[in-house]
Structure formats: structure tokens, C-alpha cells
Amino acid sequence: MIVGEQKPLEEIMALLGDARKVLVAGCGTCVTVCFAGGEKEVGILASALRMKSKLEGHPMEVDEVTVQRQCEWEYIDPLKPRLKDYDAVLSLACGIGVQAMNERFPDVLTLPGLNTTFLGLPMEQGVWEERCQACGDCILGLTFGICPIARCSKQLLNGPCGGSQNGVCEVDPDIPCAWQLIWERAIAFGQVERLLEIQPPKNWSKSRDGGPRKIVREDLRLTHTE
């Protein structure tokens, strides 16, 4: 899932500037699960904004709404009639949700209340770790299900590097060496020879090198363009 983290209150206040009527808009999917931008966090932030703005002498009216998914038109379209009442929307969805709002409702500025951090996994209550960088050409099949693009600090395709010490990455002792993990799994499966093959440079054209990416599935489209 997409993992995000709320921006500091000061920064959010600065983003909102002179706005007097604000709608705080949460998202009921990824950011709810990571306790950053669901209904609960919307309630807390809205209350905090009302109090802080009042204490600073320019009270804001702050309303709250949470939609199931801010990254789909069908979930955000029902917000349309309400939006004309607001000077700004503060979205607690990920960057996709914020952009969906701006694209769909160009007359009102939707601002980000979160930093969208990574694609990852909740490890335990309160701990999330990055797992994927959406590189567009998945190599997990070569690396025994452990991603060196997201989890090796150097994104090596042939690892580990010389800095791997006792299973730990030289960049930070809190980072387990992804390549150590890959090798351990290869050994467990009795397939180390698969790692001895040198991997050629990765095809990054499917990643960000070609500019923004897009998927078009003609088999799913309702209107075909020949």
C-alpha cells in the first residue's frame, strides 16, 4: 500500500495561508490503514486547525469529509456541490488523491496535508517499511522475492557489494542488506547458481526514464481509438 506521513501542523497552516473556510478531506484506503489520513486523522487535524487558527487570531472554519478513495472519480465526484463553499481543500490522501482533486475540481485549490512516502508494508503496529519502487519491470522472480531496487541502498542487480557486513548495509546499520537476504533465500532453495549469472543493466525505460508512465488497455476501454 501507499504509506504517508502527516506534515507538521505549522507547515499545513502556512500552506493554507489566508484561507478562512477549509475542507479537510481524508481517504478511506491506503492512508487510513497507515493512520495518516483517514477519518480519525481528519477529525484530529480539523480540530487542531480550528484551535490553532483561533489562537493565532484568524479563526478558520474547518469542515471534515472522508471518501472511500480519493484517487477515483466516482468517489470524489459527490463532493462537487460542496466545494464552492471553501477557500481551500486540505487533502490527507496521498499525492495521487491530491492531484485527482485538483484535476476534477479545478476551481478550488487542493493542498497536500501529507508527505507521500513510499510503497510499503506495515511490519508491526507503528512501523512501516518500503518494499517497492514501481520500477515497471519487476525482477522479483530473479531475486527470490526480495526487491533490490527498493531495499538495496545502491539498487544493485548483482550483489552484495563490499559494504555488506554481518547482514547489515554499510549505509545504515538499521538497514538489513537486501542482497544478504536474497542469498540466504537462494541457499535455502538450493539454487545459488541462479545468482551467479551476471545480470545485465536493468531496463530502466519502463521506469521513470521515459517521463510519466501510462497504461492503456484497449481490451478494457469503453471507447476504442483506432
Partner 1 sequence: MGEQGPFEPKILAFCCRHCAYAAADLAGAMRLRYSPSIRIIEVPCSGRVEVVEMLHAFERGVDGLMVAG
Partner 2 sequence: MADLLEQIGLGGERIQMVNLSSAMAIQFAEHVEEMTKRVQELGPNPLRDG
Residue 40 beta carbon to ligand SF4: minimum distance, rounded to whole angstroms: 15
SS3 94: coil
Q: Decide if residue 51 touches partner 2 (CB under 8 A).
A: yes
Site string for partner 2, 78-117 (x = CB under 8 A): ----------------------------------------
Note the residue count of the chain: 226
Q: Provide the 8-state DSSP code for 191.
A: -
From residue 167, alpha-carbon distances to 120, 172, 174, 177, 180 in Å are 21, 11, 10, 5, 6
Q: Decide if residue 29 touches ligand SF4 (CB under 6 A).
A: yes
Taking CB under 8 A as the binding criterion, the range among 6-14, 70-78, 152-160, 193-201 that sits at the site for partner 2 is 6-14
Closest CA to 22 of 104, 123, 97, 113: 113
> Considering CB distances under 5 to 8 angstroms, the limit depending on partner class, which of partner 2, ligand SF4, partner 1, none binds residue 8?
partner 2
By CB under 8 A, name the one of 21, 40, 80, 206 that touches partner 1: 40
Instruction: Please give the grid coordinates belonging to residue 49.
Output: 486547525
Q: Decide if residue 18 touches partner 2 (CB under 8 A).
A: no
**Distance, CA of 170 to CA of 172 (rounded, Å):** 5
User: What amino acid occupies position 155?
Assistant: Q
Indicate the residue among 8 and 173 with the shorter CB distance to partner 2.
Answer: 8
**Distance, CA of 142 to CA of 149 (rounded, Å):** 12
Indicate the residue among 7 and 151 with the shorter CB distance to partner 1.
Answer: 7
Instruction: Please give the grid coordinates belonging to residue 136.
Output: 515497471
Q: Decide if residue 43 touches partner 1 (CB under 8 A).
A: yes
By CB under 8 A, name the one of 21, 40, 44, 158 that touches partner 2: 44
Taking CB under 8 A as the binding criterion, the range among 51-59, 87-95, 191-199, 214-222 that sits at the site for partner 2 is 51-59
Tell how strand 61-67 and strand 21-27 pair up.
parallel
Q: Which residues bind partner 2 (CB under 8 A)?
A: 8-10, 44, 48, 51-52, 54-56
